[in-house]
Chain A
């Protein structure tokens, strides 16, 4: 029999004719008909369409968090509506407006309307994310211990309590062991059912469970990499130290803004914002966990331990803390310490007594992800070599040093390298041009997923600009135009086209026939400027740390890259545009998903967790915005290097 409530919901979503809902007579509320899902939702008059859709669980992209600057929350309004505002006119083409395309964040719902939302179908799980981080050897001493025990059955001579005899059987190190209520309640039964044998699952000298001998319970742990854009979960076999499965998905919080500042602003403006951010994240993590476990025939009760690493803001969302302090000077977070919580308290679905470790951070912008990166690189144990680490993201996180001194900073690169603020930019998912080169006098590009191109992701953008610099289509100041094209770059002349509205040029990457939406994929002059800002900020951050350390690019012995872009970007292209300092290619090592690699090390070894905690205290953090040299270094780094390595 169906639950009556389900029936009610079903009735509400029933298909209705293509018109205004007959019951929409209430003055304060009105109805939206959302296509193609054909859902009817009741909304308050006067609310913003984007917010109403988000509340209904409809994922629209929005990088700017509803400010009306990114132009990504496109919908088609089918019913009559007032004229577009200035921002819509600026961000949508006249043809698009003609077709009824509008920006959901610009529209205040005044009357009932029909909205078509599926203009850019979201593909939550078709994302190319780097799942396989380099995994250094770790001496196993995991955060959760599992011990086989043989307890003496009670007798007249040994009539002590079950718990006493259990501790006695485990030996001296466990003489002071504690036990959870849940475990204690089932102890009598469990001991007797298995002939007084079992596997003890222990966390910090506290018995969490006594499982049948040889049980898989307690054998696995999970690590989470909680990125602003993507979430990655890995199932780890603690007893062997091996990675079993990996699952990733887009962070569903993206519909509240692509960057942490916009999400924090949402938390500050909305009464339930903080709660909602936490719930969305926990729901995503539970989905990942469930799929990881199902794929391996496990249940949540089998897992007693998880380790999470993310930037400081994401770690705040995970714990349900107010991250407001991070979003304005002096950028002070609620907590940076590495902490341990019962997963049940946070809403994560594991064994009820399972524990979650959250990696220590250093500051509002040097998070547990960078600490994990340093841990995974082994840089903090290196005696002689000078090690530089770069994690490209909206904030480019940088470390430089070794055992003697470790400097870190976070450079506000902006989202260009993740495809945002680039006219045809996109994150690295199906349809993204991920690499570009010239072969047989043709411009060749590779598209993720082998479909027609939709846009450019970070690695494709870096490649493209490097190629255009090489052939003189872009000069070292970043000007895009036909005047300085090299002889061998003849093939590009037909692709450089003047813009009608400004004295600048566009570069045609893909003609309408080659693209998925039939619109040409262009690289505009403004796109080049955005890239210059992004790579300039990162290069300036590297420069400042090098100055502080008293070294130059030649002194760097190893350059570690973290994250998806670090893995997929062509290092020569990155050097050509000045995103990476010029160095020998063999010194560049991609650590892949370094945040989860570091979290895995902490999971597998208590000493690595302790190291991470110590590291977070020892590293020096430079707040670039208060460094007087930063502005100069930033401006200097905006031009492209004139040196040509190719």
Chain B
């Protein structure tokens, strides 16, 4: 039996929590496979949200609403999964770098990555290079994501990458960076693996880094 997941995707894209949770419940009641609902209903919808955001066709409030809608639906799916059967696309450690208190952009990226099926460890703002290194060594994430909103705090990204090298961890984790003054060229110069200009592109970049879909 196939269940039509399009109405669910539509509801997530529109950020209609009520309709989306109803559709999720309907799909579950109709015997849908939770993993399929997650992948083809929710994550597929968030992919579209990310693409539209990157193009400018959707904006922050709408993207947040979609992410919240997705979270509500995931909460409904959780009991249906056997312990451990929800597959994570990978773990991402994230934070805003030392001496930078800008939170919002980093939070958006975290939400979008979560929506795409990644596990997020959010270290908050003003994160010292040593703290990043420690968390990377303890949690062995696939990706480290760093954000900086000021051209004066960008050098802390390089300091963190250098600290990873010193700790012998650099080849164990992919590094992604972003933030208003950050560029792809800067990412290349400091030895980061990827630059993402916005929260929508960050998802595509993370998937590319890990070669998952």
Check B101 for interface membership: any CB of A closer than 8 A.
Answer: yes
Q: Which of A53-98 contact B (CB under 8 A)?
A: 64-65, 67-69, 85-87
Q: Which residues of A contact B59 (CB under 8 A)?
A: 477-479, 529, 532, 638-639
Indicate if the CB atoms of A328 and B61 lie closer than 8 Å.
no
Q: How far is the CA of A591 from the CA of B11 in the complex (A)?
A: 48
B184 at the interface (CB under 8 A from A): yes
Q: Are B183 and A67 in contact (CB under 8 A)?
A: yes
Q: In chain B, residues 98-124, which have Cβ atoms closer than 8 Å to a Cβ of chain A? A: 99-104, 107
Nearest B-chain residue to A86, judged by Cβ: B184
Query: How many whole Å from A268's CB to the nearest CB in chain B?
Result: 7
Determine if B137 is an interface residue (Cβ-Cβ < 8 Å): no
The stretch among B17-25, B28-36, B78-86, B145-153 that forms the contact with chain A is B145-153
Residue A634, interface by CB 8 Å: yes
Q: On chain B, which size bracket covers the interface?
A: 20 to 34
Contact of A503 with B by CB under 8 A: yes
Q: Find the A residue at minimum CB distance from B59.
A: A478
Residues of A within 8 A of B99 (CB): 328-329
- For the complex formed, measure the closest distance between the CB of A388 and the CB atoms of chain B, giving whole angstroms: 24
Judge if A504 is at the interface, Cβ distance under 8 Å.
Answer: yes
Residue in A closest to B152 when the chains form the complex, CB atoms: A327
A502: contacting residue among B56, B62, B100, B152, CB under 8 A: B56
Nearest chain-A residue to B107 (Cβ)? A631
| Alpha-carbon gap, A106 to B101, bound state (A) | 29
Which residues from A are CB-within-8-Å of B56?
A: 502, 504, 524-526, 528-529
Bound complex: CA A313 to CA B150 (Å):
15
A645 at the interface (CB under 8 A from B): no
B126 near A87: Cβ-Cβ < 8 Å:
no
Cβ–Cβ < 8 Å partners of A555 in chain B: none
Interface size on A, residues (CB 8 A): 39
The verdict on B52 contacting chain A, using a C-beta distance below 8 Å, is yes
| CB-contact partner of B181 in A64, A85, A264, A328, under 8 A | A64
Q: Hey, what's the 0/1 contact readout for A612-637 against B, CB within 8 Å counting as 1?
A: 00000000000001100001001110
- Decide yes or no whether A262 CB sits under 8 A from chain B: yes
Q: Across the interface, which residues of B come within 8 angstroms of A589, CB to CB?
A: none
Complex Cα distance, B180 from A414, in Å, reads 10
How far does the Cβ of A108 sit from chain B's closest Cβ, in whole Å? 12
A159-178 CB mask vs B (1 if < 8 Å, else 0) is 00000000000000000000
Cβ–Cβ contact B186 & A503, under 8 A? no
B55 with A625: CB separation less than 8 A: no
A481 and chain B: residue at smallest CB distance: B57
- Chain A residues in 8 Å Cβ range of B126: 329
Distance in angstroms from B40 CB to nearest chain A CB is 22
Cβ-based interface call for B185 (8 A): yes
| B60: Cβ under 8 A from any A Cβ | yes
- CB of B64 within 8 A of chain A? yes
Closest to B156 in A: A328
Could you say which of B55, B103, B107, B184 contacts A503, with CB atoms under 8 Å apart?
A: B55
Q: Is the CB of B181 within 8 A of A67?
A: yes
The interface residues of chain A lying within 8 Å CB-to-CB of B184 are: 86-87
Is A265 positioned at the interface, with any CB of B under 8 Å from its CB?
Answer: yes
State A636–B59 Cα separation when bound (angstroms): 12
| Set A68, A106, A265, A477: member contacting B61, Cβ < 8 A | A477
Residues in A with CB closer than 8 Å to B57 are 479, 502-504, 525
Q: Is the CB of A504 within 8 A of B61?
A: no
Whether B62 contacts A477 by the Cβ 8 Å rule is yes
Q: In whole angstroms, how far apart are the Cα atoms of A529 and B186 in the complex?
A: 24
The answer to whether B61 and A329 have CB atoms under 8 Å apart is no
When the two chains form their complex, are residues B101 and A625 in contact, meaning their CB atoms are under 8 A apart? yes
Q: Which residues of A contact B100 (CB under 8 A)?
A: 328-329
Whether A87 contacts B185 by the Cβ 8 Å rule is yes
Chain A residues in 8 Å Cβ range of B183: 67-69, 87
Q: Which of A86, A328, A528, A529 contacts B153 (CB 8 A)?
A: A328
A414 to B181, CA, bound (A): 12
Please give the distance in Å from A40's CB to the nearest CB on chain B: 30
For residue A48, CB closer than 8 A to chain B, the reply is: no
| A140 touches B (CB below 8 Å) | no
- Is A187 close to B, CB under 8 A? no
Closest to B188 in A: A86
Q: How far is the CB of A413 from chain B (nearest CB, A)?
A: 13
Let me know if A68 and B185 touch, CB within 8 A: yes
Residue of A64, A65, A528, A625 with most chain B CB atoms under a 10 A cut-off: A625
Bound CA–CA A65/B151 (angstroms): 9
Chain A min CB distance to B116 (Å): 20
Query: Contacts A67-B186, A477-B61: A631 and B52 contacting too (C-beta < 8 A)?
Result: no
Question: Which residues in B have their C-beta under 8 angstroms from that of A479?
Answer: 57-59
Cα A625 to Cα B100 with chains together (Å): 10
Cβ contacts under 8 Å, A262 to chain B: 151
In the bound complex, how far is the Cα of B183 from the Cα of A68, in angstroms? Answer: 8
* Pairwise interchain contact A503-B52, C-beta atoms closer than 8 A: yes
> Which residues between 327 and 352 of chain A lie within 8 Å of chain B, taking CB atoms?
327-329
A497 to B183, CA, bound (A): 29
Instruction: Judge if A261 is at the interface, Cβ distance under 8 Å.
Output: yes
Are A261 and B152 CB-contacts (below 8 A) given A69-B181, A529-B59, A625-B102?
yes
Q: Which chain B residues border A65 with CB–CB below 8 Å?
A: 151
What residues on B are CB-neighbors of A502 within 8 Å?
A: 55-57
Cβ-closest chain A residue relative to B108? A635
Complex CA–CA separation, A68 to B186 (angstroms):
10
Closest CB in chain B relative to A19 CB, distance in Å: 32
Bound Cα distance from A324 to B60, whole angstroms: 31
Q: Which of A529-550 contact B (CB under 8 A)?
A: 529, 532
Instruction: Determine the chain B residues whose CB is within 8 A of the CB of A634 once the complex forms.
Output: 104
- Encode contact with A along B44-84: 1 for CB under 8 Å, 0 otherwise: 00000000100111111110100000000000000000000
Q: How far is the CA of A625 from the CA of B59 in the complex (A)?
A: 21
Distance between A612 CB and nearest chain B CB, rounded to angstroms: 29
How far in angstroms is the closest Cβ of chain A from B205?
Answer: 14
Which of B57, B151, B152, B183 gathers most chain A CB within 10 Å? B151
Quote the shortest CB–CB distance from B80 to chain A (angstroms): 31
Q: Please report the C-alpha to C-alpha distance between residue A67 and residue B186 in the assembled complex, in whole angstroms.
A: 8
B152 and A631 contacting across the interface, CB-CB below 8 Å: no
A503 to chain B minimum Cβ distance, whole angstroms, is 6
For chain B, residues 115 to 160, give those with C-beta under 8 angstroms from any C-beta of chain A. 126, 150-153
Q: Collect the chain A residues with CB atoms within 8 Å of residue B55's CB.
A: 502-504, 525
Which A residues are CB-close (under 8 A) to B101? 329, 625-626
Q: How far, in angstroms, from A117 to B46 measured CA to CA in the complex?
A: 46
A65 to B181, CA, bound (A): 10
Tell me whether A261 and B62 are in contact (CB under 8 A): no
B126, B183, B184, B186, most chain A CB atoms within 10 A: B183
24 sampled A-B residue pairs with Cβ under 8 A: A64-B181, A67-B183, A67-B186, A68-B183, A69-B183, A86-B185, A106-B185, A265-B151, A265-B152, A328-B152, A328-B153, A329-B100, A329-B126, A478-B59, A502-B55, A502-B56, A503-B55, A503-B57, A524-B56, A526-B56, A528-B56, A529-B59, A631-B103, A636-B61
Give A residues with C-beta under 8 Å from B: 64-65, 67-69, 85-87, 106, 261-262, 264-265, 268, 324, 327-329, 414, 477-479, 502-504, 524-526, 528-529, 532, 625-626, 631, 634-636, 638-639
Extra pairs beyond A502-B55, A503-B52, A525-B56 (20, CB < 8 Å): A68-B183, A86-B184, A86-B185, A87-B184, A261-B151, A265-B151, A268-B152, A324-B152, A327-B153, A328-B99, A414-B180, A477-B59, A479-B59, A525-B55, A526-B56, A626-B101, A631-B103, A635-B60, A636-B61, A639-B59
